[in-house]
Amino acid sequence: MVVHALIYIFFNYDKPGLIKGWAVPIATDTAFVLGIVSFFSRHISLELRTFIIGFSLIDDAFAPIILS
């Protein structure tokens, strides 16, 4: 969660109106993770896929708290 926010702040630091949207990229990471995992599913073990998707879901569980 912190990495997404820091990347957003890095690119929008000098734009005062956009700096308030730092929490928006946090909600989109699960879609990217699922896409990447499905693309590389033949090369990733079942245990690693389970861990990555589980970690992403836990990360998204905190997104509504941050967005509100």
* Domain assignments of the chain as residue spans, ordered by start: 2-67
CA distances for 45 relative to 14, 52, 58, 65, angstroms: 42, 11, 20, 32
d(CA 60, CA 52): 12
Question: What is the pLDDT at residue 1?
Answer: 65
pLDDT by residue (tens digit) across 24-46?
Answer: 777 677 888 888 889 998 899 99
Give CA–CA dist 30/14, Å, rounded: 28
Higher pLDDT, 54 or 23: 54
- Predicted TM-score (pTM) of this structure: 0.59
Q: How many CA atoms lie within 13 A of 64 on its CB side?
A: 3
